Structure 1
Amino acid sequence: MAYWLMKSNPKYFGIADLQRLGTECWDGVRNYRARNFMRDDMRVGDQVIFYHSSARPSGAAGIMSVVRAGYPDPSQFHPEHRHYDPLATEEQPRWYMVDLRFEQAFTEILPLSELKFIPALDDSLLLKKGCEQLTVIPLEPKHWQAIMNTAESLDIL
């Protein structure tokens, strides 16, 4: 099992939306590095931190799990869709997505301002300069455990 952190603006799709739906596809990713993680590395059963980005506060909002590994994002093929890519074809898709299941919402957001003070995250892509826009981030087991321990110590888990 691997660990991940995936970012979404809660204005468009937040942890409460996933909780309401139960399971949902994570579509619309248009960053090659994030695409490669979803296409090549994410597996059924992997655990994921749902991270609210572009929010006040931004931070970890809950937990989800991968229930379907990477497969072509159909929105890339439809000209009327906002995620349409004219270079993508059914034979050679460019963009992938995964399906995720809601596991647990934190009772409060674990804000980025708090995450920055967790020593175990110092070497994580979450805090690395230049990776701020990366929406799919692999976490090492020590990163996952540090976030879970912090959430538990703050009584939000």
Structure 2
Amino acid sequence: MNYFLVKSEPETYSWSQFVKDGKTMWEGVRNYAARIHLRAMKNGDMVLFYHSGEEKAVQGIAKVAKEAYQDPTTKEDWSVVDLAFHKSLKKSVSLSEIKAEKKLQNIYLVRQGRLSVMPLGKEEFELIVKMGS
């Protein structure tokens, strides 16, 4: 199993909307590095859902429900995956909390903050989930 983090502006697609929908096609990724990570996702992989913009915090956990396929919103070579709701965190985990944790200093979210899809190690994923429980 692999672990990832995806980012969304809450005004564009919020965690609460995702929970309500139960499942979504994760589209609109237009960065080559993010596309590589998106295409690496496999069914059952765990994904942290992060609000970017003003909020800057991990909200909950999704699961990959369908592996990468052609983004139907474009004819260009971009991909989407389907994500399904897994569970909400008891409390959101802010970017400042993540940056304050020594064990998370090397994750993409801290080092390369503009990336919208990024891998996480199992320990990093579990630590962020623990911080939100």
Q: How does 1:17-32 map to 2 (within 5 A)?
A: 17-32=17-32
Gaps of 5+ in 1: 78-87, 89-93, 153-157
For residues 38-84 of structure 1, what are the alpha-carbon distances to aligned partners after superposition, in whole Å with 9 as ceiling and x for unaligned?
Answer: 12x100000000000002x311010000000000101113xxxxxxx
Aligned sequence identity (%): 35
What corresponds to 1:147 in structure 2?
128
- TM-score by length of structure 1 reads 0.81
Residues matched between the structures, number: 133
Asked whether the equivalents of residues 91 and 132 of structure 2 are also in contact (C-alpha less than 8 Å), the reply is: no
Distance 1:118 1:53 in 2: 19
Distance 2:8 2:91 in 1: 16
Aligned with 1:113 (options 92, 96, 109)? 96
- TM-score by length of structure 2 reads 0.95
Q: Verify: 1:49 aligned to 2:48, yes or no.
A: yes
Asked whether the equivalents of residues 92 and 132 of structure 2 are also in contact (C-alpha less than 8 Å), the reply is: no
Distance 1:66 1:24 in 2: 10
Structure with the largest fraction of strand: 2
What corresponds to 1:10 in structure 2?
10
For residues 83-138 of structure 1, what are the alpha-carbon distances to aligned partners after superposition, in whole Å with 9 as ceiling and x for unaligned?
Answer: xxxxx2xxxxx10010000111224321111111111111111111xx11100010
